[in-house]
Amino acid sequence: MTKTQNICFNLSEEQTRNITRSVAEIEAIGLSQLQKTASIIRKEMPEKLLRSLEAIGIPGSGVNSIIIHGLFDAINPDQALLVHEAISRHICGINDIKYRYEDHKAIYPRSDGASTSEWGNGVGHISAHSDDLYENVDSDLLSLTVAHDRTACPTLIYNTDDLLSQLPEDDIHTLRTAQVRYRSGRNVTGVRLERIRPVIEPKDDDELYNIDMRVEPNYGDRMVAVEIADQPVLDRLRDALSRTTPISAEGRTGTFVIINNRKVLHSRGSIGQQKGYDHPAEASRLLFRSKGQKVQLQSVNQLF
């Protein structure tokens, strides 16, 4: 089996400066600007890091997460979004999905999220989870780019293998076979979506995990065993999580994080304030997000 990798890389001050300067000259966000921005980033990135960014999300690649600090500095939200879209789409190959019932792009404490937890636009904590487990389409990858963060609230990353290795073989068997109901929450407006599937699912020669530990005040557990007899295993999974040390992605302007959404979990502490904002640019913390399937062209034959 491939060894799993969690990568953290700091670009040099010179690389940060070069990307920032070149991107500042690009004005609008359009398809050709995205391509151009991606080639600016490629030029500054070490070859090995580029290969890992291209590999994450390909079954069997073993790359679980990548954190890059210093992708840019001191640029405005529009330019941060340009860099985010360029690296997410054109380097990592995320086919970002926009659902009509979810405002997923900008994550910041919103006025309607004051005193709300378990929601990207709330001020409270978010428990460990993978995104979109209730959707029909699986999100292979999730990327986040920090435009600015005055709250110093990191995104936390947990290797699911570290949780599962704490459970006995019987529990693992249950996680492979028992049906679990995954439900949408506060992030989805106007509809309640759900999907039933086991926690551990085979894919190609690999296994992917469906874990969502969020418990929302008005929605309840986002993940519930269909048969009540199977629920204690999910409780033991939660206990294992409390004994697992996460990787901390300390977000500052220009931090980029990409994770294999169904190999690792992500969470966040409370952002430590009560107030929300009406506009992303004014908010104390602003991240851009992409999530969706990995675009892979294995051979030219797939074009025809």
Ligand X SMILES: O=C(O)CCC(=O)C(=O)O
Nearer to ligand X, 156 or 240 (CB): 156
Distance CA 159, CA 102 (A): 27
Written as one letter, the residue type at 47 is: E
Q: Does the footprint of Fe ion cover residue 212 (CB under 5 A)?
A: no
Q: Are 223 and 156 in contact (CB under 8 A)?
A: no
Q: Which amino acid is at 279?
A: H
What 18-23 contacts at long range (C-beta under 8 Å, 24+ apart), as own/partner pairs, is 18/44, 19/44, 19/71, 19/72, 19/83, 20/72, 20/73, 20/74, 20/75, 20/254, 23/72, 23/75, 23/79, 23/82, 23/83
Q: Which is nearer to ligand X, 61 or 139 (CB)?
A: 139
Residue 131 or 230: the one with the smaller Cβ distance to Fe ion is: 131
Q: Smallest distance, Å, CB 144 to ligand X?
A: 6
* Bridge partners for 249 per DSSP: 155
The interface partner of residue 155, options being ligand X, Fe ion, none and the CB cut-off 5 to 8 Å by kind, is: ligand X
The residue ranges that bind ligand X (CB under 6 A) are: 107, 120, 126, 131, 144, 155, 266, 268, 287, 289
Helices (H), the chain: 13-24, 31-44, 47-55, 77-85, 160-164, 169-177, 231-242
**Could you tell which of ligand X, Fe ion, none binds residue 268, using a CB distance below 5 to 8 A set by kind?**
ligand X
Assigned token pair, 281: 């640019």
Partner whose binding site includes residue 262, from ligand X, Fe ion, none (CB under 5 to 8 Å by kind) = none
Considering the complex, what minimum distance in angstroms separates the CB of residue 72 from ligand X? 18
* Count, residues near Fe ion per rule CB under 5 A: 1
**Closest approach of Fe ion to the CB of residue 129, in Å:** 6
Give every CB contact of residue 207 below 8 A, 6+ residues apart in sequence: 200, 201
In the complex, what is the shortest distance from the CB of residue 104 to ligand X, in angstroms, rounded to a whole number? Answer: 8
Pick between residue 107 and residue 233 the one whose CB is nearest to ligand X.
Answer: 107
Residue nearest to ligand X (CB): 155
Instruction: Between 45 and 123, name the residue whose CB sits nearer to ligand X.
Output: 123
> CB of residue 131 vs Fe ion: minimum separation in angstroms?
4
Residue 74, burial from CB neighbour count under 10 angstroms (0-12, 13-18, 19+): exposed
Q: Which is nearer to ligand X, 34 or 144 (CB)?
A: 144
From residue 44 to residue 83, what is the string marking binding to Fe ion with x (rule CB under 5 A)?
Answer: ----------------------------------------
Q: Which stretch binds Fe ion (CB under 5 A): 37-45, 97-105, 128-136, 280-288?
A: 128-136
131 near Fe ion, rule: CB under 5 A? yes
Going from the C-alpha of 197 to that of each of 119, 123, 135, 201, the distances in angstroms are 23, 31, 11, 8
CA distances from residue 75 to 19, 82, 107, 192 in whole angstroms, order as listed: 11, 11, 17, 38
Report in angstroms how near the CB of residue 122 gets to ligand X at its nearest: 9
Q: How far is the CB of 267 from Fe ion (least distance, A)?
A: 8
Binding site for Fe ion (CB under 5 A): 131
